[in-house]
Chain A
Amino acid sequence: MVAMANTPWATTGVIVYGIDPEREKSVTEIWKKLVPGAGEYPDISRPGEVLISDKCAEILKLKHYIITEDVIDQLRGEKVPENILLRLPDLKETRFRSPKDFRDILKMRFTRRELDRYGNLIAAAALDYRIRNRVLLTLSDGTGTPVQGAFRVCGIYKTTNTGFDQAAIFVNARELAQLCGKDEIMTHEIAILLNDIKEAGNVKDKLEGISSGNSVRTWRELAPDAALMNDYMIMYYFMFIGIIMLALAFGIINTMLMAILERTRELGMLMAIGMNRKRIFSMIMLETIFLTLTGAVTGMIAGWAIVEVLGKTGIHFSGWGEGFEAMGFAARVYPVVTPDFFIFTTLLVVVTAIISSLWPARKALKLNPVEALRTE
């Protein structure tokens, strides 16, 4: 439901989702996106809790930076040099309500290089949320009468979708119903998480038969821009893969033709003493495949390691961060590679290797042993 959220310092429009905290876990991953050390997930046993995002906390001025003795200790633990730490204590106990203010203060105290190295660490350590702070929600009860309820922030979440984060806040569905003067929970939305994304269309068709006038939407219809982006990504992926495979094919053909050229005499000798065509052919093919597999395995280990590291640290698109965030994507992207992607790519590489080894192998077959032996 659309609502107005108030804190003593700020006001913003939000969409309140009444959820069943436990059952919500099975369809969305909000519960996995909690900011560590900043509160917890709502619990039915504790009344009046609201879960808001990092972005929302910032707007509502529930997010601040504060240097405490603990923060300094923590930074020391992370191996920030003493000469940096020494310049922090006089900031102690001052609250900075926006990242910008905090940055500006730091900028005055530290050189650019120091900031580049330690700025993020200091900001992360000093970041604090006003957990348990009251948020006043004002909304219409459905008949047009405004109602108001006070909630306490129980936790902070942060997803990669800033557009979503800015608006979405979560409260217990039963409390939201009570606030609107209803005994029953009003269900506006039933989320269904499918095991296979490709089934979405089929399931929609089936549900529409029994939905008695309620609308059934697939994720594509709900988030057409995300769907479009997703389609583009897949298209780009195939284009890149296509280009890479083409380069791979040329690489293999080139390498193997060179190998055959260099070993013309050896091949001629092998043919003379009794290697038949089938054996020559399979020898070249096997050689190509081994060569490719060696490269592929090395590449995959390297690729996996890089993704593993970047998956932890994230890739920050600092230059385009704003554009990304405006589109609802996070500026910091955490790459993940699924096993089937790996398998698919491996198969593609092997198939490319086999296809591109055909030509060199045929070339080797066409060698005439007499001519091949004569070459110097």
Chain B
Amino acid sequence: MKVLELKDVHKTYNSSEVKVHAVNGVTLDFDEAEFAAIVGPSGSGKTTLLNLIGGLDMPTSGEITIDGTDLSRLKSSQLIDFRMRNIGFVFQSYNLIPVLSAKENVEFIMLLQKWSKEEREKRTFELLKAVGLSDRVNSRPSKMSGGQQQRVAVARALASRPKFVLADEPTANLDSKSAANLLEIMEKLNHEEKVTFIFSTHDARVVKMAHRVITLEDGKVVSDEVRE
């Protein structure tokens, strides 16, 4: 079964005099354990598309189905819960909670989901080890480099074993070495955890590492290629 399906999804902004078709009829589907990049110039609709997929925003028309559940049929409180259980988020500017340590940031969602202490600890250490931060467990975000913070964010996104992880330009604030390192870690986790990663980027070196590249232009998918 497909993890994620989009059927003729549109998102139109009416805020100013002109209507902006930020996403203009996108139809896509994703399998389990895909590693897909969404590329396109600035303003092509990457962020808008990821927000729609993540249930943070509602499409003007079209249908988004995650693991057989049509997002538009969920009430807002159900949607929040659904999001927490099924989707991991990685943001461009890390967005860790500044007053919490790396471990506590990763643990946070598991706490919201009321996992037991042993389960939480086990999962947290497993993930921090996977992202190569076993030695920074108790560090605050402010004491870590951008690359390290983004790796904590990836660990946090995976904490509750989501169906897929959405990352909007996760490497945009990183130097190329940290970016490559982050991508390697994401790819490894994609493989080990069998979780789908969908990330947007306009960095050519990051694009090279993707297994599937979806190109957007003016809110439309202009190419969708799978490579090995």
Residue of A nearest to B83 (CB): A274
Q: B226 at the A/B interface (Cβ < 8 Å)?
A: no
- The answer to whether B80 touches A274, judged by C-beta atoms less than 8 angstroms apart, is yes
Q: A291 at the A/B interface (Cβ < 8 Å)?
A: no
Q: B84 at the A/B interface (Cβ < 8 Å)?
A: yes
Q: A123 at the A/B interface (Cβ < 8 Å)?
A: no
The answer for the CA separation of A266 and B83 in the assembled complex, in Å, is 17
- Within the complex, which residue of B54, B81, B98, B112 is in contact with A272, where a contact is CB–CB below 8 Å? B54
Which of these binds chain B: A275-283, A340-348, A354-362? A275-283
The answer for the CA separation of A352 and B152 in the assembled complex, in Å, is 40
Q: Mark A271-303, 1 if CB is under 8 A from B, else 0.
A: 111111101000000000000000000000000
Q: B77 at the A/B interface (Cβ < 8 Å)?
A: yes
The answer for the CA separation of A266 and B98 in the assembled complex, in Å, is 9
Q: A38 at the A/B interface (Cβ < 8 Å)?
A: no
Q: B27 at the A/B interface (Cβ < 8 Å)?
A: no
Q: A163 at the A/B interface (Cβ < 8 Å)?
A: no
Q: B144 at the A/B interface (Cβ < 8 Å)?
A: no
- The answer to whether A273 touches B56, judged by C-beta atoms less than 8 angstroms apart, is no
Q: B91 at the A/B interface (Cβ < 8 Å)?
A: yes
A contact residues around B85 at 8 Å (CB):
274
Q: List A residues 240-286 near B (Cβ within 8 Å).
A: 265-266, 269-277, 279
- The answer to whether B84 touches A373, judged by C-beta atoms less than 8 angstroms apart, is no
- Number of A residues contacting the other chain (C-beta, 8 Å)? 15
Residue of A nearest to B94 (CB): A269
Q: A10 at the A/B interface (Cβ < 8 Å)?
A: no
How far, in Å, is B50 (CB) from chain A's closest CB? 10
B contact residues around A272 at 8 Å (CB):
54, 56, 83, 89
Q: B61 at the A/B interface (Cβ < 8 Å)?
A: no
- The answer to whether A277 touches B77, judged by C-beta atoms less than 8 angstroms apart, is yes
Q: A370 at the A/B interface (Cβ < 8 Å)?
A: yes
How far, in Å, is B101 (CB) from chain A's closest CB? 16
Q: Mark B144-156, 1 if CB is under 8 A from A, else 0.
A: 0000000000001
Residue of A nearest to B159 (CB): A273
- Within the complex, which residue of B56, B88, B95, B98 is in contact with A370, where a contact is CB–CB below 8 Å? B56
- The answer to whether B112 touches A373, judged by C-beta atoms less than 8 angstroms apart, is no
Q: Assuming the A-B contacts A369-B56, A370-B56, are A276 and B81 also in contact, with contact meaning beta carbons closer than 8 angstroms in the complex? A: yes
- The answer to whether A274 touches B109, judged by C-beta atoms less than 8 angstroms apart, is yes
- Within the complex, which residue of A265, A270, A276 is in contact with B77, where a contact is CB–CB below 8 Å? A276
A contact residues around B81 at 8 Å (CB):
274, 276
B contact residues around A275 at 8 Å (CB):
80, 112
The answer for the CA separation of A212 and B5 in the assembled complex, in Å, is 97
Q: B51 at the A/B interface (Cβ < 8 Å)?
A: yes
Q: Can you sample 16 A-B contacts with CB below 8 Å? A: A265-B93, A269-B89, A272-B56, A272-B83, A273-B83, A273-B88, A273-B89, A274-B80, A274-B84, A274-B85, A274-B109, A274-B112, A276-B81, A277-B77, A277-B80, A370-B51
B positions within 8 Å CB-CB of A: 51, 54, 56-57, 77, 80-81, 83-85, 88-89, 91, 93, 95, 97-98, 108-109, 112, 156-157
